[in-house]
Amino acid sequence: MGRMGPVIPSVAVPDRVRVLRHGRSADRHAGRMETLTARDIAAATPTSRNRVVDLLRVAALSVVVLGHWLIAAVTVRDGRLVSGALLDLAPWTHPLTWVFQVMPVFFLVGGYANALSWRRARERGTTWAGWLRGRLRRLLTPVVPLLLVWVALLVVADAAGVDRAALRTASQVALVPTWFLAAYVVVCAVAPATLWLWERFGWASVVGGLVVGGLVDLVSLTTGPWWVGFANYVVVWCSVHQLGYAWLDGRLDGTGRRLAMAAVGAVGLVTLVWAGPYPVSMIGLDSSAVNNSYPTRVTLGFLGLLQAGLVLAVEPWLTRWMARDRPWAVTVRLGSRMMSVYLWHLTVMVLVIGAGLLVGGAGLGLDPLSASWWLSRPLWWALLGVLTLGVVAVVGRLEQVRPLTGPVPAWRPVLATALGCGGLGVMAGQGLVAPDGLRWWWAVLPVAAVALLSPRLAPPTD
Q: Residue 15's pLDDT is what?
A: 35
| Range with the largest mean pLDDT of 27-41, 187-201, 357-371, 440-454 | 187-201
Q: Is 293 helix (H, G, I), strand (E, B) or coil?
A: strand
pLDDT category, 31, cuts 50, 70, 90?
A: very low
Q: Are 346 and 388 contacting, i.e. CB atoms less than 8 angstroms apart?
A: no
282-295 pLDDT, tens digit each: 998 877 889 999 89
Please state whether 23 falls in left (phi above 0), alpha (psi between -120 and 50) or beta.
left
**Residue 138 CA to its chain's centroid (Å):** 13
Instruction: Say what the pTM is.
Output: 0.88
Nearest to 327 by CA among 30, 17, 58: 58
> Does the structure show a pLDDT above 60 at 2?
no
146-179 pLDDT, tens digit each: 999 999 999 999 999 888 888 998 999 999 888 8
307-341 pLDDT, tens digit each: 999 999 999 999 999 999 899 999 988 988 999 99
CB atoms under 10 Å from CB of 166, counted, come to: 15
- 23-32, 37-46, 320-329, 337-346: least confidently modelled range: 23-32
Helical ranges in 363-404 per DSSP H: 371-395
From residue 249, give the alpha-carbon distance in Å to each of 119, 205, 236, 246.
12, 15, 21, 5
Q: Residue 16's pLDDT is what?
A: 35
Q: Are 75 and 207 contacting, i.e. CB atoms less than 8 angstroms apart?
A: no
Q: What is the mean pLDDT of residues 114-119?
A: 96
Q: Are 248 and 23 contacting, i.e. CB atoms less than 8 angstroms apart?
A: no
> Does the structure show a pLDDT above 70 at 6?
no
What is the domain partition of the chain in residue ranges?
30-457
CB atoms under 10 Å from CB of 403, counted, come to: 17
Q: How far apart are CA 252 and CA 259, in angstroms?
A: 10
In the DSSP assignment, the letter for residue 312 is: H
> Does the structure show a pLDDT above 70 at 141?
yes
